[in-house]
Amino acid sequence: MRRTHLIAIAVAIVVFLLISALLARVFSANSAEQSAITTLVTDEAHGDTGAVIGDITGCRSTPACRQRASENVRALAHPGPVSIIQIQPSTSFSIAGTRGFARVAWSVGGSLPIVQCVRVWRTGNAISGLHVELHQVSRRIGSESACPAHF
């Protein structure tokens, strides 16, 4: 009887640890998305068009993306430290790949808030690992605006 209880406890601990590890992978994807978006808007604010193009998956090979990156950098570059006001992630929780829009509000050097939308792809799953790719960034949108379906 005692041996059965010990085996049951050991199995429960192993299951708990496995579930915890999978959840940690899922939550790390949220952190990776926020980090990628923060890097993108920081590169825009610092006027680094090449870095912005590199931040967006496939942008180097797409003339429209390169043009948008250049336009955004010209419009949004400003001296000073970047401050992220709010990031609404593309999804709050997903154990598999998803595609969606993240909305980011940020300011730089005392500027008024800048709001943009970012098309985000999360690929993979909780077992093999989730990866975050940024595929498109909008122009500046209104502070109260939702992300447009197309940008």
What is the average pLDDT value for the chain, to the nearest integer? 91
Which band of pLDDT confidence, cut at 50, 70 and 90, is reported for residue 85? very high
Q: Span 4-13, mean pLDDT? A: 90
Query: pLDDT > 70: what percent of the chain?
Result: 99
Q: Span 71-75, mean pLDDT? A: 97
Cα distances from 64 to residues 9, 82, 83, 97, 116, in angstroms, run: 58, 26, 28, 26, 17
Instruction: Tell whether the model's pLDDT for residue 99 goes beyond 80.
Output: yes
Give dist(CA 135, CA 151) in Å, integer.
11
Query: pLDDT > 90: what percent of the chain?
Result: 63
Answer yes or no: is 47 within a domain: yes
Domain span holding position 76: 2-137
131 in helix, strand or coil? strand
Number of structural domains in the chain: 1
Cα distances from 42 to residues 2, 8, 83, 149, in angstroms, run: 59, 51, 9, 24
Q: Span 16-40, mean pLDDT? A: 87
Answer yes or no: is 91 within a domain: yes
CA distance from start to end of the chain = 65
Answer yes or no: is 132 within a domain: yes
Instruction: Tell whether the model's pLDDT for residue 28 goes beyond 80.
Output: no
Rg (CA), the chain: 20
Answer yes or no: is 144 within a domain: no
CA 2 to chain centre: 49
68 in helix, strand or coil? helix
Answer yes or no: is 114 within a domain: yes
Answer yes or no: is 148 within a domain: no
Answer yes or no: is 104 within a domain: yes
Answer yes or no: is 145 within a domain: no
Q: Span 85-109, mean pLDDT? A: 88
Supply the pLDDT for residue 108. 95
Supply the pLDDT for residue 36. 96
Q: Span 121-146, mean pLDDT? A: 89
